[in-house]
Amino acid sequence: MSGKPRLTYCNGRGRMEPVRWLLAAAGVEFEEVFLETREQYEKLIKDGVLMFQQVPLVEIDGMKMVQTRAILSYIAGKYNLYGKDLKERALIDMYVEGITDLMQMILVFPFSPPEAKEKNLDSIKDRAINRYFPVFEKVLKHSQDFLVGNKFSWADVQLIEAILAVEEKIPAVLSGFPQLQAFKIRMSNMPTIKKFLQPGSPRKPPPDECYIETVLKIFKK
């Protein structure tokens, strides 16, 4: 095994995508193992690899890490994307938690029954426009280029991921947010993020029927 972090998950976004984003933004190359069958997943559990019998699993620095938040916190700290002191870390945590709440709605959306999709999409739009994006618009209006301490951090990575994910479903969602529009352009042109946004990168496409079927096959009892 190389010294690169190794990520084990399905071949799709899910809860691993923020990890891919953060590693890519930090300029860290990684390897991936894709789960395709329930037997693979059950073997990980049997072997004692998954502490809480859940993926994502990230093998890094000799550790087998689970729980998305713990993984992301470790990566952010390791690559100096977690603020300069406790106050900045607290701000980053608050911003990240807020973005995660919005992203959770996007995460479960593909698994919605057809009759609920329109209502759920309206909920995503409402939360983005009226609850979450106004917070970051205000923060960016009173800062310079980044959300915390005018230094690139985990919070910025989470926000650009969320913006692009929401835009896939609601293309005009940023129409009333000029600061976020400018932020999106800045972040998308950062070399490591620009590379991650290119075709052929480890970034995963929006979930399709094949991905949904695979997830249900592996994890649904």
Q: What is the rounded distance in angstroms from the CA atom of residue 159 to the CA atom of residue 137? A: 11
pLDDT at position 3, please?
86
pLDDT at position 154, please?
98
Mean pLDDT of 14-40: 96
pLDDT at position 221, please?
67
Q: What is the rounded distance in angstroms from the CA atom of residue 205 to the CA atom of residue 40? A: 23
User: For 92-105, what is each residue's pLDDT tens digit?
Assistant: 999 999 999 999 99
Mean pLDDT of 116-129: 94
pLDDT class of 143 with cuts at 50, 70, 90: confident
User: For 154-205, what is each residue's pLDDT tens digit?
Assistant: 999 999 999 999 999 999 999 999 999 999 999 999 999 999 999 999 999 9
Mean pLDDT of 66-90: 97
pLDDT at position 1, please?
45
Q: Could you identify the residue written with the tokens 């990168």?
A: 201
Give the chain's mean pLDDT: 94
Mean pLDDT of 13-28: 97
Q: What is the rounded distance in angstroms from the CA atom of residue 221 to the CA atom of residue 217? A: 8
Q: What angle do CA 160, 197, 93 make, to 5 degrees?
A: 25
Q: What is the rounded distance in angstroms from the CA atom of residue 203 to the CA atom of residue 165? A: 12
pLDDT at position 2, please?
58
pLDDT at position 19, please?
98
Q: Which of 83-92, 130-139, 140-149 has the lowest mean pLDDT?
A: 140-149
Q: What is the rounded distance in angstroms from the CA atom of residue 86 to the CA atom of residue 129? A: 30
Residues of the chain with pLDDT > 70: what percent?
99
Q: What is the rounded distance in angstroms from the CA atom of residue 134 to the CA atom of residue 141? A: 10
Q: How far is CA 169 from CA 109, 136, 179, 182, in A?
A: 10, 20, 20, 20
pLDDT class of 220 with cuts at 50, 70, 90: confident
